[in-house]
Amino acid sequence: MRPFRFAAGVRSTETRDEFVNAVREVEHLGYSAMMLSDHLVHQFAPISALSVAAAVTSTLRIGTFVFNNDLRHPVVLAQELATLDRLSDGRLEIGMGAGWNKPEYEAAGIPYDPGATRIDRLAESIVIMKGLFADGPIDFEGRFYRVKGFGDLPRPIQRPHPPFFVGGGSPKLLRFAAQNANIVGIAPRVLPDGTADVMGCTLAGSEKKIAIIREAAGPRFDQLEINTYPSLSGKVTDQARPAAREVADRLRRRYGAELSEQDILESPHVFIGSVNSLVEKFQMLNERLGINHILVGEDYRDFAPLLERLSGS
């Protein structure tokens, strides 16, 4: 099996003390990484918060799940991220996404282009950032960005660049991630009407996504980390089936999706069960899909016992 690596999220802190205590606790519990989201909502902005996290930890890797590419120009972001990698002594992981939250775009007056366009723009951004992280100036002219020079920007400690984390649900984005990222996440696909493709989150649906990743990655597939996270639900409990039934009912009411309790419990996007059953589930997902990078979100205390059983295995 691929060695497991666990990441935690920290989002609902209000003060510096709360944030620092949470980050230090994540490190103390043995998590490999702490990842922050990137939304224009009531949360700390990720770049500023990550600099604080780097300053108060020594082994914890820091990163994002994930930057919205459309909120920052890649040259500006590359300078910020190279700085973060240096200030953290090479502990940065770069989560990048094409953006998906349409109401956020509308509220900020940012054009919400079709998914294929946003993915193409993300692809150009990552090419530019990788170029800026390398030695020497860059000369890039694409559909969305034109960048020339910048031979004197700071370069990250990690060479040739910090690991890139790209996830998604559409075949186009999964293929791009498989060929260009170090960590590939399988995520619910956002449909044109803004809703999630819940049926694609089943075990069978996830197998199809892994098949796309494997084909697109070719020989580099074995070097990839494959991520999942509890986008539908996560709960450590001895009452797994009643909890799964609640999730199935919620998805039926919201999306009209007909999923059984077993569909819910097997889904890579649902972390419901006892510690023992979740250990077995993650081992199954590792063997069957190659999933080994697990983000548990803010329930990191509840999921900490899993680290003792699975980290490094």
Residue 245 inside a domain? The answer is no
Residue 215 inside a domain? The answer is yes
Residue 248 inside a domain? The answer is no
pLDDT in tens, 167-198: 888 999 999 999 999 999 998 887 776 667 88
Using the Cα atoms of residue 306, residue 307, residue 308 and residue 313 in order, give the sign of their dihedral: positive
Place of tokens 């996007």: 269
Residues recorded for the chain: 313
Q: Kindly give the parts of the chain with pLDDT less than 70.
A: 193-195, 312-313
Residue 257 inside a domain? The answer is no
Residue 134 inside a domain? The answer is yes
Predicted pLDDT at 304: 96
Do residues 91 and 54 make contact, with C-beta atoms less than 8 angstroms apart? yes
Residue 206 inside a domain? The answer is yes
Helix or strand run (H / E) with residue 167: strand 164-168
What CATH number is associated with residue 178? Answer: 3.20.20.30
Do residues 232 and 261 make contact, with C-beta atoms less than 8 angstroms apart? no
What is the secondary structure of 28-71 as a DSSP string?
HTT-SEEEE---SSSS--HHHHHHHHHHH-SS-EEEES-EEGGG
pLDDT in tens, 76-110: 999 999 999 999 999 999 999 999 889 999 999 99
Total domains in the fold of the chain: 1
Predicted pLDDT at 312: 60
* Structural domain boundaries enclosing 215: 5-236+267-310
Residue 157 inside a domain? The answer is yes
Place of tokens 């980290």: 311
